């Protein structure tokens, strides 16, 4: 039984766009005209190996949708690993939003009490810059209060700045078992091969799970940029029904290698020593891969035992 990641929120709060951006899917037609998004049946998106993403519009739809939702409730909320609830910061119906959120929480409490809860206050770019922190803190307080006895982690996001990527990276980070061990191993790997930076990406979304930075870099947005570039490349590849496997980028200043690492991850290695031949690097990565796969095997076993 696959575990689920539920992406929920009021209709029009930005879930479909978010999913499209994070998972590099072509976005569905504007579904508001057709009705609420129900895409449980179509979700092929696999996430962190064994998680499946389900998108649900929660609240604000017509009566028959409400009924469908109510009747399928237990089905929807069973086996949930993660609940990501999206709030539109511009919404004028705060009471209603909170009400729907609470009813989702009740369902979670009944069906998957161990699920992790994340709340995203979305579309923050529409708020004036100097007020964003203030408004977000207010919402966060309210949400944490309402979520008791469950714990929720809140993020403020917008698709037009780095906050969406960071929020989802944090979520993914919290879902990886034994992530500290992974990081230590990554650091060892980076030091052994004397790389400038080594990144570990989640396979489906290219969200950065962990990174080891050995030389400073000016651009704080680099992870998101790389992720976007590779996702665009994947889109191009998918037109040919080809799949992206690996990439090497070289110039006089650096060499970068992006390759499949474990079943759930990609690795990116950046070297400023360009004299090292590619073949040598690829051998190094191959050897490291074996080690990390073993690690992941242990982790997956642990998860199955839970």
Partner 1 sequence: MAAAGQDNSFRDGKVDINADFPENGTNNGASIQDVDLLDEEDDRKPLASPGRSPNKAIEDDKSRSRSRKPFHYPTNRRTSEELDSHSTLATYNRYRYYSRLAPPDDHRMRIPDHIVPATLFYPPMFVDQSGKQGSLITIFSIWNTMMGTSLLSMPWALGQAGFVLGLVIMVVMAGLTLYTCYRVIKSVEGVDQEGEVLEFSDVCRHYLGRWGEGCSVFFSLSALLGAMIVYWVLMTNFLYNVVSFAYENINAPGNETSASTEVLCPLNSSYTPDNGNLSGMFHMATPGDDDTFHHVWERVKTVPFFLVILVFPLLNFKSPTFFTKFNALGTMSVVYLVVFVSVKASQWGIHLDFSHTGKDVDVTVASVYFPILTGTLSLAFFIHNAAVSICRNQKHPENNGRDLTIAYICVMVTYVIVGAVFYASFPKDKDCIEDNLLNNFSNTDTLAFVARVFLLFQMWTVFPLLFYIFRLQFMHTLFGSTYPSLVHVIVLNLVLVGVCVIFARFLPHIGTIIRFSGAFCGLAYIFTLPCLVHLVRLKQAGRLTWPTGVVHGFIILLGLANFVGQFFFLNKT
CA distances from 50 to 42, 80, 204, 248, 265 (A): 16, 12, 11, 28, 13
Q: Give yes or no for residue 43 binding partner 1 (CB under 8 A).
A: yes
Per-residue x/- mask for partner 1, residues 45 to 64, rule CB under 8 A? x-------------------
Q: Which residues contact 298 (CB under 8 A, 6 or more apart)?
A: 178
Q: Is residue 90 helix, strand or coil?
A: coil
Closer CB to partner 1, 168 or 189, in the complex: 168
With CB under 8 A as the contact rule, the residue among 225, 286, 291, 294 that binds partner 1 is 225
CB under 8 A: which stretch of 13-21, 93-101, 167-175, 295-303 binds partner 1?
13-21
Could you count the other beta carbons within 10 Å of the beta carbon of residue 269? 23
Q: Which residues contact 83 (CB under 8 A, 6 or more apart)?
A: 5, 6, 8, 104, 108, 115, 116, 117, 118
Q: Give yes or no for residue 110 binding partner 1 (CB under 8 A).
A: no
CB under 8 A: which stretch of 78-86, 92-100, 170-178, 215-223 binds partner 1?
215-223
154-193 residues near partner 1, rule: CB under 8 A:
159-162
Closer CB to partner 1, 78 or 225, in the complex: 225
CB under 8 A: which stretch of 22-30, 207-215, 280-288, 293-301 binds partner 1?
22-30
The residue behind tokens 């539109």 is 88
The span from the CA of 163 to the CA of 166, in Å, is: 5
Q: Which residues contact 285 (CB under 8 A, 6 or more apart)?
A: 257, 259, 261, 267, 269
- Binding residues vs partner 1 (CB under 8 A): 14, 16-17, 20-21, 23-30, 39, 42-45, 125-126, 159-162, 204, 218-221, 224-225, 228-229, 231-248, 250-251, 253
């Amino acid at each position: 039984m696959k575990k689920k990641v539920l992406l929920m929120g009021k209709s029009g709060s930005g879930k479909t766009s978010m999913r499209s951006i994070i998972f590099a899917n072509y976005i569905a037609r504007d579904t508001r005209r057709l009705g609420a998004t129900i895409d449980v049946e179509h979700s092929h998106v696999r996430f962190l190996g064994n998680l499946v993403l389900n998108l649900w519009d929660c609240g604000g739809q017509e009566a028959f949708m409400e009924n469908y939702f109510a009747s399928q409730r237990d089905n929807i909320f069973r086996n949930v690993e993660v609940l990501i609830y999206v709030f539109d910061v511009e919404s004028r119906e705060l009471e209603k939003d909170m009400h729907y959120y609470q009813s989702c929480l009740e369902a979670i409490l009944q069906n998957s009490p161990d699920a992790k809860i994340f709340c995203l206050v979305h579309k923050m770019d529409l708020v004036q810059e100097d007020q964003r922190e203030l408004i977000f803190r207010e919402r966060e307080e309210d949400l944490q209060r309402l979520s008791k006895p469950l714990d929720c982690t809140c993020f403020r996001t917008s698709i037009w700045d780095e906050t969406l990527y960071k929020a989802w990276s944090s979520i993914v980070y919290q879902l990886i078992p034994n992530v500290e061990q992974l990081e230590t191993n990554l650091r060892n790997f980076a030091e052994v091969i004397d790389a400038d930076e080594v990144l570990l990406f989640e396979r489906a979304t290219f969200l950065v799970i962990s990174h080891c930075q050995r030389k400073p870099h000016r651009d704080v947005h680099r992870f998101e940029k790389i992720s976007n570039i590779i996702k665009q490349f994947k889109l191009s590849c998918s037109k040919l029904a080809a799949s992206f496997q690996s990439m090497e980028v070289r110039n006089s200043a650096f060499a970068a290698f992006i390759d499949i690492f474990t079943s759930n991850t990609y690795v990116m290695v950046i070297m400023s020593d360009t004299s090292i031949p590619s073949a040598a690097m690829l051998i190094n990565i191959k050897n490291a891969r074996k080690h990390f796969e073993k690690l992941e095997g242990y982790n997956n076993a642990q998860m199955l035992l839970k």
